Amino acid sequence: MTRTAAQPRMATSRRVRRRLAAFAVAALLTAGCTLPAFAPRTEVEGEAAPAGGAPAWRACPEVADELVGRGAPDMRYECARIAVPRDWGTGGGATAGPGAGQTFEIALLRARSTKQRDRVGSLVVNPGGPGGSGVDTAVYLSFGTQFGGLPTTITERFDIVGFDPRGVSRSSPVKCISDANLDASFGYDPDPTSQAAFDGFVGLSQRIGRGCGDRYGDQLPLYGSEQAARDMEAVRAAVGDDKLTYLGYSYGTLLGAIYAQLYPQRVRALVLDGAVDPRQRLVAGSESQARGFERAFGNFSRWCAANAARCPIAPDARAAVTSAIDKARVSPVRGDDGREATAGWVFYAVISSLYTESGWQELARAIDRLAEGDPKDVFRLADAYAGRQDDGHYSNLFDANLAINCADETEKPSREQIRQLQSQWRTKYPLFGPALAVGMLSCVEWPGRRDPYPTGRATGAPPIVVVGTTGDPATPYEQTGRLASMLGVGRVLTWEGEGHTAYPQTSCITAAVDAYLIDLTVPREGLRCPAR
């Protein structure tokens, strides 16, 4: 796998907080959200235990050292690996077909407080994506609420266990997209209006798909989400819990929902924050995100107009951003390293900054400095989204993202349909619609068969808490109730805030989720938490 470039050690709590705040930055538009890659991927060493077997845990403080510069106070970190069937098949393992008899290795990290008391069990976490590292996330969440992590009420009662899903980061990683093709994809015009430009993106999508198909062939479907949800049952067994306690963000809510359908009797408590509607197929999901990002950008624009002292592109942020993208199409600003801030890179800087309300001021500053001829802040925002390092190398975040999303997706609109939607959505969602339409080409041109996941009720499972944020751009709030309804046992918890995901943003959200995780107290029906 391609390793990411080393980052500076965190010398102050402010810098730690900034690093952990990046937890909310997301990735590929058609996927919802994921974490960027921040630091070298320390390998989780040791022989993998078979599925259902007891793993050999070893101390691994070096993972936190490389991610953040130090471990969290009063925290110990241990790592292990487990082996899982490449194809779970029917009844625990396929005996024929691609991957039969072979295994993937799943990397685990356990963060345990030295002040742990009245232990409940393990809290398994997944950050979303798909493509985000649960190992990294467990480290970030171990730092406490002052740094954007979990409250001590949770870390002193649970081991925090992160796993990298199959194909992601340290877990038998998928790597089949070149740095050059990723640069071309992110830098491409987000709204290729001419037929030649549209065809150019089709060709780029075909090259990416062909490269992955050539490398992984008929095993590409094995990276799908149902297989990963079955891996979660092996993780539950590996940590020794009779039932699963789980915190899933964004795409992680999909994994949790699938798990609840497959293993309802094994569910203790699931918190699904930033809900993905599993029944929403490619076109509907892409339009939903276009609507969500437009709404979030409108909220940013109104904030900008009302806070001109903090927003250098006030009073009309939309006009400033649109102008920046238009100018980048014809005369992109060149950075000190010779890289050009094309329309695509400006667009992804905008996307990146909408995942947290704290990113709004950074976006305004980046657009303002770009107008003055300085693209550094644009690149910083866009690169955080893309997982691109200073040396131009990428992690496998987007390789895994495509492999997983496209294995799951059965809907394949034609190029002609996508071209029509590009035009229609340009009218309905002018800044984000065309890019969300054209982005569907990535899975349309993906090779191999598909492996759709189940979309039914979690019959027999206890109540599951589904958390939604009213201003969420990537997993729009409307999906919250749909996921809860599909499961049949979902209880909606609403945060009237901005950005992507809610827990543990405010005392109201934190108190409700903590009570559920620790005591299984389900939030009251219709509970809505204020933004502040």
Separation of alpha carbons 184 and 340, rounded Å: 11
Burial label for 519, CB within 10 Å (0-12, 13-18, 19+), is: exposed
246-271, pLDDT tens digit by residue?
999 999 999 999 999 999 999 999 99
pLDDT value for 372: 97
Contacts of 152 (CB under 8 A, 6+ apart): 113, 115, 144, 145
Separation of alpha carbons 161 and 151, rounded Å: 15
Q: Report which residue type is found at 258.
A: I
Query: Percent of the chain, pLDDT > 90?
Result: 86
445-469, pLDDT tens digit by residue?
999 899 999 999 999 999 999 999 9
The residues annotated as belonging to the active site are 250, 472, 500
pLDDT value for 44: 57
Separation of alpha carbons 69 and 19, rounded Å: 10
pLDDT band at 129 (very low <50, low <70, confident <90, very high): very high
Separation of alpha carbons 449 and 443, rounded Å: 11
Burial label for 473, CB within 10 Å (0-12, 13-18, 19+), is: buried
Domain ranges of the chain: 58-173+222-278+454-529, 282-386
83-125, pLDDT tens digit by residue?
999 999 865 566 667 888 899 999 999 999 999 999 999 999 9
pLDDT value for 52: 64
Separation of alpha carbons 379 and 472, rounded Å: 23
pLDDT value for 91: 54
Q: Whole-model pTM?
A: 0.91
pLDDT band at 29 (very low <50, low <70, confident <90, very high): very low
Give the alpha-carbon dihedral of 47, 51, 54, 56, to 10 degrees.
Answer: 20
Give the alpha-carbon dihedral of 264, 270, 276, 281, to 10 degrees.
Answer: -10
Angle between helices 343-353 and 359-371 (to 10 degrees): 160
Separation of alpha carbons 325 and 299, rounded Å: 19
Q: In this structure, what DSSP letter does residue 4 have?
A: P
Does residue 437 have a pLDDT over 50? yes
pLDDT value for 8: 24
- Among the ranges given (94-103, 273-282, 313-322), the one the predictor scored with the smallest mean pLDDT: 94-103
Separation of alpha carbons 131 and 118, rounded Å: 34
Question: Quick one: average pLDDT of 357-376?
Answer: 97
Q: Report which residue type is found at 50.
A: P
| CATH of the domain spanning 58-173+222-278+454-529, picked from 3.40.50.300, 3.40.50.1820, 3.10.20.30, 3.30.499.10 | 3.40.50.1820
The end-to-end CA distance of the chain, in Å, is 42
Does residue 53 have a pLDDT over 80? no
Residues 290 and 279 sit within 8 Å (Cβ to Cβ) = no
- Cα–Cα separations (whole angstroms), residue 117 to 71, 76, 112, 156: 20, 15, 11, 6
pLDDT band at 43 (very low <50, low <70, confident <90, very high): low
pLDDT value for 35: 29
Separation of alpha carbons 82 and 77, rounded Å: 17
How much is the mean pLDDT over the chain? 90
194-249, pLDDT tens digit by residue?
999 999 999 999 999 999 999 999 999 999 999 999 999 999 999 999 999 999 99
